Structure 1
Amino acid sequence: MYNNRKAVVIYRSKTGFTKNYAQWLAQDLNCELINGKKVKISDLQGYDTIIYGAGLYAAGISGIKLITKNYEQLKDKNLHVFAVGATPVREETTEELKNMNFTEEQRKKIHFYYLRGGFDYTRLSPLYRFLMTLKKLQLKKVKNPDADVNGMLASYDHPLDFTKKKYIEPIVNEVMNS
Structure 2
Amino acid sequence: MKTLVLYATKYGSTEEVAKTIADNCDADMVNIEDVDLLNLDRYTTIIFGSPLYVGKLRKDLIRFMRDKIHQLSNKSLHLFVNRGTRTPAIDDIIEKNIPEYQNLLQTTIDFGGTFDFNKMNLMDSLIVRTVNLDLDELDSNQNLDEKVSNFIGKLAHKY
Q: Which bracket does the TM-score occupy, shorter chain normalised?
A: 0.7 to 0.9
Structure 1 unaligned spans of 5+: 141-148
- Residue 143 of structure 1 corresponds to none
Q: Quick one: which of 126, 134, 144 aligns to 1:133?
A: 126
Q: How far apart are the structure 2 equivalents of 1:41 and 1:78?
A: 21
Q: How far apart are the structure 2 equivalents of 1:161 and 1:95?
A: 18
- Residue 117 of structure 1 corresponds to 113
User: Cα gap change, 1:68/1:173 in structure 2, threshold over 3 Å: closer, same or farther?
Assistant: farther
Q: How far apart are the structure 2 equivalents of 1:82 and 1:41?
A: 23
User: Cα gap change, 1:46/1:94 in structure 2, threshold over 3 Å: closer, same or farther?
Assistant: same
User: Cα gap change, 1:171/1:73 in structure 2, threshold over 3 Å: closer, same or farther?
Assistant: same
Q: How far apart are the structure 2 equivalents of 1:41 and 1:99?
A: 29
Q: How far apart are the structure 2 equivalents of 1:76 and 1:41?
A: 20
Query: Where in structure 1 do 4 or more consecutive aligned residues deviate above 3 Å?
Result: 134-137
1:19 aligns with 2:12: no
1:171 aligns with 2:148: no
Alignment of 1:25-40 (within 5 A): 25-40=21-36
Q: Quick one: which of 74, 77, 83 aligns to 1:79?
A: 77
- Describe the SS at the equivalent of 1:34: strand
- Return the TM-score normalized by structure 1: 0.74
CA shift for structure 1 position 86 = 1.4
- Describe the SS at the equivalent of 2:50: strand
- Residue 101 of structure 1 corresponds to 97
Q: Quick one: which of 136, 140, 147 aligns to 1:162?
A: 140
User: Cα gap change, 1:161/1:114 in structure 2, threshold over 3 Å: closer, same or farther?
Assistant: closer
CA shift for structure 1 position 59 = 6.7
How many pairs does the alignment contain? 153
Preserved contact between residue 7 and residue 32 of structure 2 (Cα < 8 Å):
yes
Q: Which has the larger radius of gyration?
A: 1
Preserved contact between residue 94 and residue 101 of structure 2 (Cα < 8 Å):
no
Structure 2 unaligned spans of 5+: none
Preserved contact between residue 75 and residue 109 of structure 1 (Cα < 8 Å):
yes
